[in-house]
Each structure stands twice: as structure tokens, then as C-alpha cells.
Amino acid sequence: ATVSLGMITLQDPQNVRIATALLVVCFVLVFGTGMLLLRYCMSVAALAFLVTLAGAWMLGLTAVFWGFSYQFALVFSGMVLICHFMMRSHRLVFLHEQLLTQEKEHLTGLSEELAELSLRDALTGVANRRRFDDVLQQEWDRARRQQSPLALLFIDIDFFKAYNDHYGHQAGDDCLRAVAFVLVDTARRPTDLVARYGGEGFVLLLPDAEARGALETAERIRSFLSQAAIPHAVSPQ
């Protein structure tokens, strides 16, 4: 609409060309760089172009008609190319940011996984001594503040050295994993913690457990291990 009015008020073809070029440049730069708006901006600009040509033709401004057509086509095509490369650059930046975000999330996951692995016993999969010491201190402090009970079971495999010497270290590892499985299956509360204390020793931390409940848990462990019937041919008992 502005260009059409300019055709009437600005009779000098050079002024019309300059005004048209400035309008097209401003129009495309301001509105045309948005990916969703570009197609609509192009449609509006093309419509304005046709209206302006029609007005110039009806007013008999032949020189202005051809000059405006050339100037508009040249500037508009150039600005469309600029917008294309700008959008391409924006897409590349967006994809790069997405890749960086995914890489950051992946590294965060790996870091958390490594931190988790550092607190687990590699052989049995239960918590290691470091994890047990940290949780024991936390639960001890909490029990003192809240005046709540805290039970701790020590489980040691009898005659394990003789078992290793007779069956081999691979069988000894299998024995440790079997015992750990029984302990994990027994510790059913989310707050219970099974940990390998060292060698053939395990611990089971039972927050908010009275002595009677701890004894019942210990008896269940003994019963389950008896049912597992792990062979020990050289046991003196």
C-alpha cells in the first residue's frame, strides 16, 4: 500500500526505485527471517508487487513500471536468499545446541552411573564398605535425633577359606553371590541396606528395627541359606 501511494506522490522513477528497495529490504529483514512467517511474508510482498504494477500501469507510468519490476525482483530475490542462509544458519545452531544438550545428558548419566558403581561391590552387586560407612553414619545420626531404633546384622561365612581351597576361587565367588542374593531377597524394605563388609563378611543395616525384628530377620536369613544347600564337603560341621 505504501509503494502504491508512492507511485502517485513520487513521480521521479529514481525516487520510486529507492523507496521500493528500502521498503523491500526492511520488510524482508524484519519479518522474513522467521521460518514460520517467511512464506506469508513472501505472499504479501508478491501481492504488493502485483498491486503496485497494476497501479503503475493504470497511471501510465511505463518507465516506473519496468524500473520498479526490475528493482523489486532483484532486491526481493536477494533478500530471499539472505533469509534462506540465515534460516539455515539458525537450523544449524539449533541442531548443534540439541546435540550439545544430548551429549551433556549422556555425560551426566555416565557420571551418575560411575558414581553408583563406585559405591557397589563389583563381585556381588551389593553396596560396598564405603557406601555402608556413609549410610551407617547417616542412619546413626537420624536415630539419635529421632530416638528411633537401629539394628545391624553381621553375616560371616564359616570356613570360607577351606571352601575356596577345595572348590576353587570361581566357586568361592559363586558362593558369595549366592549369599548376597539371599540377603538382598531378605532385605525387602527400601531403607534396608545390604553391603559386603570385606572378604566373606556381609552386613545388613535395618533402620527403625527393634531387636526382636532384627532377630527374626537373622533367622529368616539362616533358614533361606539352609534351603539353598550350598555344598561344602570339607566343612567340619
Catalytic residue IDs = 200
The helix (run of H) or strand (run of E) holding residue 237 is none
Please spell the DSSP secondary structure of 1-51, one letter per residue. -HHHHHHHH---HHHHHHHHHHHHHHHHHHHTTSTTTHHHHHHHHHHHHHH
> What is the longest distance spanned by two Cα atoms in the chain?
120
The CA distance from 65 to 53, in Å, is: 6
d(CA 50, CA 46): 6
C-alpha cell at 236: 567340619
d(CA 56, CA 69): 10
Give the number of other CB atoms < 10 A from CB of residue 101: 10
